[in-house]
Structure 1
């Protein structure tokens, strides 16, 4: 993507600003914390800055930061500072309060209370002024008396959990026995573990878990108000009246008490409150389920004429008969005569919502009028309109590096039409048809007129179920169960008036199933995948390029794919020891020809054009979030490989190869412009020269640090920033077409030479809850392409003299920017899956 001189100047000015912010974000406070102070008290000391220092040698730096962020929330309201950020690095302190030592006293008291909630029962908080002079003398008429307060937090040892008792029946109440048995059955899921640091948040989370457990096992009336936590730090052995009669036992107890002072412990008991309504301890079962699939909103009334379909005490009430009763019942996770479960209610709502048939879903449980120990349900569903038509217009403008080596200004226009049917055969079967038309034309003086056309039709049919007999008995418990059939045909002509490159026809169809396991693993299995690519109407210019470039010729191998084993897997993970850490794994596998390739001798088409290959790729993402400071550190690793085993003279088909570059990969390179290996990166020399790079293997790693820059409109529109580095490349495997060309083939001894490295920064305009637009600017710190790799293995450390190339409009400067910098535009955050 090309930008004007002004755009490049502005972007790199912002990069410099972000670098300043990032380097100074974690420094200790100095005399000048803000670029400006507004509306401050004249001739009076005012609150300027607060520092919190946590003293505990046993805590890591990250643990101290988390605890410090919590302590900062305990500052007295009048000691809080209002800081507004603008234009990336300007910080303005606004309307600071007159300083009063009472604010610091209150803050210290609040912090000590907070320490107790985190298990530091012996914690002490003191405060003092910073050692530097607190008076700032500027304009005599506007003298500022700045006061910065330092809080020293000595946490002392943290209390750790010792004894744990959940719903103890120490009062002989028989109705507690079922709750005890249920909590013991799922004791392994408890958040309270012996030896774990105590905190009120941990105990609160355990109480929420118990309430959820009981409500999922029939206890409809059980709420958080029914239980409380009792904590005890008393060492009961010291209260033994017989201790004085046994000196040896007395010595042992005193020794243990001294050890407990160094490593204090706490006992936790979660009990039910006394004198509760007996209905709290009553188990309920499901009774009657009434579904209104054509609900129109408002209050439900029995005066409206309905047609009922009744089966197994599930009643489906119709007015117009838009849905089949079996389709409704099949997607209910609620079952009659089973125990009441709040989880089943949420799963039913989620399952109905994923069908994309109803726009509003309300499930209302209530105690049955027929039996006070049972629950009736009203399921109110407001449907979408059955048919949806959409259309949109797209436009793209591409400006070349310069008029001598570029292609002339190119303009692309596209129109998309879409038609969706949400309810085929009254069973929520959905069909989506999309027609895309597009043209590309050049502007004078180079290659004016029509350059390319595109016509693409796509059809997708989705059934809201899977054949359970093909899977395990547990498949009925899976969520988001779908059977899909997608088809696509695309015709692209890039040889208009015999003055371009080629024409390409692509036909594909995929059939398979999708489902989500109870552990949130999303599977996609395709027993049939067909793809056909036909390259024709090749211009003389492009044919010459194919003849002169073996890599390009072997990349454009034509044929079709026919696979029976294709699977995809995605799994998010919880990091139990770190609440703010998250991870996700994605794995894909596909093949072609494993079955149908055995018929090559009897089927001429298979022998001549069927690709036989295996391909697999995996991607892992790990994120460390700091919500208190609106920051996040994201790591990503990706690896993939494909091998064409029926032909030792060709690479993988080009439409199945891996590509590097673009907004979600190596961001210092445009899409499909990296690699393979250390191959020559020839500049474009004309409009009709085709340029696309891909490989049979991919290795890639990315690190991105995200932070907030400016809250333009709180919780609605936020400007965010990022610093990133990308490392990786694509390669080919060795075959006859690559013999003697080690620069494009993966070899472990050349891995360091072939790796590309980029660094950069990004800006993200986040319309919170809607979408995010981002611009990433990447610099090629290590470029493995020839001729750059001949010098210092491709490392290209920026020089001060290179700054002139950022803003100059000369051809040499624009060429330097083309070889070193890329600006990419994306929607959404990168590495999300």
Structure 2
């Protein structure tokens, strides 16, 4: 036998034996048995068995419901050891030490002993729940299982069910001449109670709530579900069947069984809490009273947001929609809708309400100065000073004007070159938001949009960027579009008009770079970008307590088509003397968060994007191309250090080559708490960028060897999966009420520019450090 192989084999066996010995030793050392008091037994849990002569319908669901009643829950166990309980016991020592205190605070659990369990009370709960599901006359008993030597105890419950549950034969409403009975009967087509189903008390409770909601929508302002009662009748059947009758309880108040109409609607557009609302001027507009001393908000502008109408029945849905619309204006701090019952004759078959809408405004004007620490996706970071002026009701119609001036200095972290790694930024931006949909041709009716009224947003601004030693950029941008929420999850943003113009003044150094790189020069040539953009956002993460949370941001950018139609002549075409870009671009950012607990989450993201130049463009404009790497992308690689494909340029400023019009990326991250505001994460990222053939240089151009390599290695193909970069790492986050400072350390695992077959090359000793603000996804 080969001696070397024998030694290796013996070494492996010795290693495995030592590992097994250490594992057994560790589990024994962490045993909690020695900490359990002499007169106590540690409770290890309970189970329940269901028994019946006939097959139990929905047995799994029924058993799961009964399991929730088996309280308290025992101490958690992992790998044979109750670690939480162990940490708790260790912290009770006379001098527990800092580590034991910390582990107990984060993971410790109070012990659950058999003496903490009341099995007789649990028996009653189980019988009650079985009766609520139609299994009347069930019996429940329990058995204790004690292991005195191990100081453990458990309980087994056994439930004996009758042959079958009581099943509903007929569901009826009592007959009565009252109008409310007729109203209830009209809602029974939407009943949650189905004939032929077993008795279920929880369904009956839900049915009462459903009827209460339906009646309130029909104007029954003072009704309550407590006024309804169900009665059952089993006398007509030999087998286990019953009829169910719904009626009103006796002595229900008169005001609860009649509908109410809104007689008056009063709106206070400039209401201050605690002030008198009587001595003010009243303006009557569109059947409503607008009460204000001076015009703070024009009635004709505010009126479309109010859906409560005089002469109509009370409706909680219309009240909720009105409140939501008014809150969305951004002008008001508080929106309070109060209904007052007006006096009426007791014999009246209908009551009357007065609706009072109190609107407490925010400060109309504000000035805010911010000193910001900025980090960007291109790895530039530095201080910014921003001064913002806001007017929240500019023309007394809820218009919001926001002007922001900024100045900043940035430096690129971990830059490979000493040229172009610092920036000076000056800028002025303005946003004018009108809480109505302005359309140049036809008038848009606000009632076309049920959930919220679209807003018109007009934006304009300019920015001056000095990239030291390379170039100066002066850019002007503007857009006209609409924002509206379809419901609480979905937001649309449509900009029919969007324009960007950039004037580039390059240094000699940057001019040489452009001369040597016609691909880069071509993408910088097209600095006039005008077109249409659309964004769709689905944000299911507004329900922060949901276990499964989804988010989708899809974007469409169509640029240059109108200008192409207006311009004549041969390609390349110009508009106002400027060559314009023409392309189509679409991308989607999909995220899924799985919440293991309130503070533990598995977060995932998939991103896919494609831009296609055509017509007047040979390549995508530089500012519209994709890049990979950095704190918001694949964190094991520096910003713009990946791709396209397997391409790896050499020399200074090579990252300008590393762009593409295709981007694919996938990320997964496990987030967990460490201590108070300090959170931790373990993550993995994968992805890259590529070029399509259309985004390469046109045929016939004289190419350098470097450019030929870029086209060869950077073009997307069916082999793209073999060109994906992979990295993994760990992170720390300081999370202060959703303001997050993030530190990530990641190492490359798969490097696409290496030779095929050698790309899986973990470089754990060459990690990349990332600093950023906010979570990456």
Q: Same fold (TM over 0.5)?
A: yes
Q: Summarize deviations over 1:644-663 as a string: whole Å, max 9, x none.
A: 1125642x112222333444
1 CA distance for matches of 2:512 and 2:63? 63
Contact 1:127 1:150 in 2 (8 A): yes
Equivalent residue, structure 2, for 1:297: 273
Q: Secondary structure at the match of 2:392?
A: strand
Instruction: Quote the residue 1:352 is aligned against.
Output: 326
User: Relative to 1, partners in 2 of residues 1:278 and 1:616: Cα closer, same or farther, differing over 3 Å?
Assistant: same
Alignment of 1:316 with 2:310, yes or no, is no
The structure-2 alpha-carbon separation of the partners of 1:796 and 1:554, relative to structure 1 and needing over 3 Å to count, comes to: farther
Closer/same/farther in 2, CA of residues 726 and 397 from structure 1, 3 Å limit: closer
Cα distance change, pair 150–475 in 1 and its aligned pair in 2 (3 A): same
Match of 1:283 among 248, 255, 259: 259
* TM-score, normalisation: structure 1: 0.72
Q: Does 1:492 align with 2:492?
A: no
1:756 alignment counterpart = 725
Contact 1:36 1:91 in 2 (8 A): no
Distance in 1, Cα, partners of 2:134 & 2:686: 43
Residue aligned with 1:790, SS:
coil
Partner of 1:825: 772
On the 8 A contact 1:111/1:125 being kept in 2, the answer is no
Q: Secondary structure at the match of 1:347?
A: helix
User: Displacement of 1:586 after TM fit?
Assistant: 3.1
- State the secondary structure of the residue aligned to 2:767: helix
* Map of 2:700 onto structure 1: none
Please tell me whether the aligned partners of residues 600 and 606 of structure 1 are also in contact (alpha carbons under 8 angstroms).
no
Residue in structure 2 matched with residue 340 of structure 1 by the alignment: 314
Paired residue secondary structure (1:51): strand
Deviation at 1:440, TM superposition (A): 4.2
CA distance change for structure 1 residues 759 and 471 in 2, over 3 Å: closer, same or farther?
farther
Give the root-mean-square deviation of aligned CA atoms. Answer: 4.8
Give a deviation string over 1:542-596, Cα, whole Å, max 9, x none: 3333344455444434321111x32222235799xx9854444432212111111
Aligned 1:224-263 pairs, distance under 5 A: 224-228=225-229, 237-239=237-239
CA 37–191 in structure 1, closer or farther in 2 if over 3 Å, else same: farther
The Cα shift of 1:700 comes to 2.8
Q: Which moved more, 1:388-397 or 1:155-164?
A: 155-164
State the match for 1:8 in structure 2.
none
- 2:425 aligns with 454
Could you say if the C-alpha distance between residues 42 and 695 of structure 1 is closer, same or farther in structure 2, counting changes exceeding 3 Å? same
Match of 1:463 among 431, 434, 456: 434
* Match 1:385 to one of 329, 347, 363: 363
Which residue does the alignment assign to 2:626?
A: 658
Mapped to 2, the partners of 1:68 and 1:823 lie a distance apart of: 49
Per-residue deviation, residues 372-430 of structure 1 (Å, max 9, x unmatched): 622111111221111111111134699xxxxxxxx9xx983321111101111111111
- Mapped to 2, the partners of 1:357 and 1:530 lie a distance apart of 29
Alignment of 1:558 with 2:526, yes or no, is yes
Shift of 1:69: 8.3
8 Å CA contact 2:74, 2:112 repeated in 1: no
Work out the CA distance in 2 between the residues paired with 1:212 and 1:133: 58
Matched-pair contact (CA < 8 Å) for 1:701–1:726: yes
User: Contact 1:389–1:418 at 8 Å: present in 2 too?
Assistant: yes
Pair 1:545-2:513 in alignment: yes
Q: Which residue number in structure 2 is paired with residue 614 of structure 1?
A: 584
Is 1:213 paired with 2:178?
no
Secondary structure of the 1:424 match is coil
**What does residue 252 of structure 1 align with?**
none
Q: Distance in 2 between matches of 1:775 and 1:157?
A: 61
Q: Counterpart in 1 of 2:648?
A: 680
**Paired residue for 2:471, among 502, 506, 511?**
502
The match for 1:728 among 687, 705, 710 is 687
Alpha carbons of 1:744 and 1:152: their partners in 2 closer, same or farther (altered >3 Å)? farther
Summarize the Cα distance change of 1:414–1:677 in structure 2 as closer, same or farther, 3 Å threshold: same
Q: Offset of 1:641 from its aligned partner?
A: 1.4
2:608 is aligned to 639
Q: Deviations over 1:735-788 (max 9, x none)?
A: 34287724222212x1211223334444455445x545544444433332x12x
1:142-197: CA deviation from partner (whole Å, max 9, x where unpaired): xxxxx45466788989999975988x423445434443354246x2xx66678999
User: Are 1:453 and 1:494, in contact at CA under 8 Å, matched by a contact in 2?
Assistant: yes
Q: Deviation digits for residues 34-65 of structure 1, max 9, x if unmatched?
A: 79899x77543254x543557799999x9899
The residue number in structure 2 matching 1:482 is 455
Unaligned runs of 5+ residues in structure 1 are 1-29, 136-146, 240-256, 258-264, 399-406, 806-815
CA distance in 2, matches of 1:195, 1:669: 63
Structure 2 distance, partners of 1:218, 1:90, is 53
Structure 2 residues without counterparts, runs of 5 or longer = 1-25, 76-81, 89-99, 698-706
Higher RCO (C-alpha 8 Å, min separation 6): 1
- Does the aligned pair in 1 maintain the 2:747–2:767 contact within 8 Å? no
Q: Is the 8 A contact 1:491 1:504 kept in 2?
A: yes
1:406-417 aligned at under 5 Å gives the runs 412-417=382-387
Equivalent residues of 2:33, 2:150 under 8 A apart? no
Aligned residue for 1:45?
Answer: 40
Query: How far apart, in 2, do the equivalents of 1:640 and 1:160 lie?
Result: 57
In 2, the alpha carbon distance for the partners of 1:723 and 1:442 equals 26
Partners of 1:219 and 1:284 within 8 A in 2: yes
> What's the TM-score once normalised by structure 2's chain length?
0.76
How many Å separate the matches in 1 of 2:743 and 2:195?
A: 49
Deviation at 1:528, TM superposition (A): 0.7
CA distance in 2, matches of 1:696, 1:454: 27
Task: Give 3-state SS (helix, strand or coil) of 2:340's partner.
Answer: strand
Which of 163, 170, 181 is equivalent to 2:174? 170
Indicate how the Cα distance of structure 1 residues 649 and 723 shifts in structure 2: closer, same or farther if over 3 A, else same: same
Verify the 8 A CA contact 2:267 2:290 in the aligned structure 1. Answer: yes
Q: Distance in 2 between matches of 1:64 and 1:830?
A: 42
Is 1:759–1:779's contact at 8 Å kept on the other side of the alignment? Answer: yes
Task: Find the partner of 1:701 among 657, 666, 676.
Answer: 666
The 1:678–1:766 alpha-carbon spacing in structure 2 relative to 1, beyond 3 Å, is: same
612-621 vs 631-640, greater mean Cα deviation:
631-640
Q: 1:634 to 1:101 in 2, by over 3 A?
A: closer
Residues 371 and 386, structure 2, Cα contact 8 Å, conserved in 1: yes
Question: Structure 2: how far apart are the matches of 1:660 and 1:450?
Answer: 18
C-alpha distance after superposition, 1:174-228 (max 9, x if no partner):
434443354246x2xx666789998766654554343333222311112232335
Q: Equivalents in 1 of 2:630, 2:459: separation in Å?
A: 27
Question: Residues of 2 paired with 1:449 and 1:618: CA distance?
Answer: 31
